[in-house]
Copies of this chain bind each other. A is one copy, B any other.
Amino acid sequence: MRKEKEEVEVDSSTEAKIKEAARKMFTQKGYSATRTRDIAEEAGINLSLLNYYFRSKERLFQIVMNEKLELLFGILEPVVNDGGTSLEHKLEHLIQLYMNMLSENPTLPIFVMNELKNNQHPFEHKLSLKDFLHNSILAKQLNEKRPDLNPFHFLVNILGLCIFPYIAQPIFSATCLVNDMEFQQLMEERKKLIPKWTHTFLNTVFT
């Protein structure tokens, strides 16, 4: 029942090509600065096919955006609700997962945050950060170990340590603080450092 060509086959259908081009152009330039002609050209297809397959620029954007939201926050869920691991292990796992995702999608956070800020699009926000913060297994484990720590600050700090350098990267580039290769090297270092910092944070009482 499976297709003959199986191994890592890229979907070369017109629809897939358009979607892939849309992913690239939207994340690169944002919704407003991206023209449907940019997407069509990038995909190597005729402009009218975009509307044939996706009805409108807005609908195509919704599809891409939902994918990106899932990529940015959907990967949290399985980790924070893993019943078989310790708090420390969950945190290490989470950080590693995030840093790997970010090194492959460096502009993902700033794209998502900015489009949400601009607030021109209606979203079905099924993802519940609230649950992560108050009802997840990780939250319970954190509360058990450190009831004095505010889980909001804890989550924000860890995510910030991972995500912020990727958001600030355009500044680093523009001011020649670090070039792209140095940046990658520094992010590799952080993969090992952030778990250490987090561990210290978790075992320090702040007076």
A117 touches B170 (CB 8 A): yes
Q: Is the interface of A mostly helix, strand, loop or mixed?
A: helix
Q: Does A157 contact B (CB under 8 A)?
A: yes
Contact A119 to B170, CB < 8 A, known contacts A164-B164, A165-B160, A177-B133: yes
CA distance in complex: A168, B152 (Å): 12
Which residues from chain A sit less than 8 Å from chain B, CB to CB?
A: 28-33, 73, 107, 109-110, 112-114, 116-120, 123, 125, 127-130, 133, 150, 152-153, 156-157, 159-161, 163-165, 167-178, 186, 189-190, 193, 196-197, 200-201, 204, 206-207
Q: Residue on B with the closest CB to A28?
A: B118
B204 touches A200 (CB 8 A): yes
CA distance in complex: A79, B131 (Å): 40
